[in-house]
């Protein structure tokens, strides 16, 4: 996304780290509902283009390029998921978002869950798209194999936004951040999250298979936790089936 598509870019310094945001309504009132989109490993907000476009008529939409990804400068040190979560929370505070719904994809799910675990009041609810890493398969070769299996089910149109974003990130930061993603115990941390959650993934997403989604649902600490498996979709479900993800977002946000 670029500013000529109706999103205003800005760069924020959070401590010694850079975050780049695209905001559909930067002049909105603090209490206006806002969806905050958080990308996964090695990519950027670029692959949220379709989802953001579909969400925009319903609420304020903010996409975040975390440090080292997209247009955000690469830090001099390796960051853990907790560091990304702290940056996300401070970004939301800096933007004055008082009624946010967090939307994370892949590693972005980990960042969202950690952000909520640390600051439950930072958002009213969250949508977790293609959550990783499956606790039964927390081994690097297995995760890579599952990624390739999921990628084989993507269409060229759904794969291209991620390829573009990965090229902008580069391999070094991907390699530096991968161990932090692999080590994060999502199934343990989600139990500490009391917010309402909507978990969604594609039926062909081998990184986020149905049994794993069920485990997360059962372990989550919130009162309302839903699971939706989208037929025909894979890991990039928000690209191939944006309306299905929009429905989950609007429902958990109370906008239906």
SS3 string of 88-100? HHHHHHHHCCCCE
What tens digit of pLDDT does each residue of 186-241 get? Answer: 999 999 999 999 999 999 999 999 999 999 999 999 999 999 999 999 999 999 99
pTM (two decimals): 0.94
Residue 2: the pLDDT is 47
Residue 157: the pLDDT is 77
Q: What is the mean pLDDT of residues 21-32?
A: 93
CATH of the domain at 225: 3.40.50.1820
- The CA-CA-CA angle for residues 95, 53, 87, to 5°, reads 30
φ and ψ at residue 127, rounded to 5 degrees: -115, 125
User: What is the domain count for the chain?
Assistant: 1
Residue 86: the pLDDT is 98
Q: Confirm if 36 and 108 have CB atoms less than 8 A apart.
A: no
Residue range(s) defining the domain that contains residue 135:
3-253
Each residue of 232-252: b (16+ CB within 10 Å) or e? ebbbbbbbbbbebbbbbbbbb
Q: Confirm if 111 and 118 have CB atoms less than 8 A apart.
A: no
What tens digit of pLDDT does each residue of 29-66 get? Answer: 988 999 999 999 988 898 899 999 999 999 999 999 99
């Amino acid at each position: 996304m670029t500013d000529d598509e109706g999103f205003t870019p800005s760069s924020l310094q959070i401590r010694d780290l850079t975050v780049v945001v695209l905001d559909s309504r930067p002049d909105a009132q603090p209490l206006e509902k806002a969806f905050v989109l958080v990308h996964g490993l090695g990519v950027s907000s670029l692959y949220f283009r379709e989802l953001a476009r579909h969400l925009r008529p319903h609420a304020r939409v903010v996409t975040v390029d975390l440090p080292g990804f997209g247009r955000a400068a690469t830090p001099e040190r390796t960051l853990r998921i907790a560091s990304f979560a702290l940056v996300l929370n401070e970004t939301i505070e800096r933007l004055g978002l008082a009624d946010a719904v967090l939307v994370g994809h892949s590693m972005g799910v980990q960042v969202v869950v950690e952000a909520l675990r640390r600051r439950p009041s930072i958002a009213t609810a969250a949508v977790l798209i293609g959550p990783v890493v499956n606790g039964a398969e927390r081994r690097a070769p297995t995760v890579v194999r599952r990624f390739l299996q999921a990628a084989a089910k993507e269409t060229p149109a759904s794969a291209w936004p991620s390829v573009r974003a990965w090229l902008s990130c580069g391999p070094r930061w991907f390699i530096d951040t991968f161990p932090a993603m692999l080590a994060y115990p999502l199934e343990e941390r989600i139990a500490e999250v009391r917010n309402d959650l909507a978990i969604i993934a594609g039926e062909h997403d081998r990184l986020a298979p149905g049994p794993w989604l069920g485990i997360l649902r059962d372990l989550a600490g919130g009162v309302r936790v839903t699971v939706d498996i989208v037929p025909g979709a894979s890991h990039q479900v928000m690209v191939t089936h944006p309306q299905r993800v929009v429905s989950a977002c609007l429902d958990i946000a109370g906008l239906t």
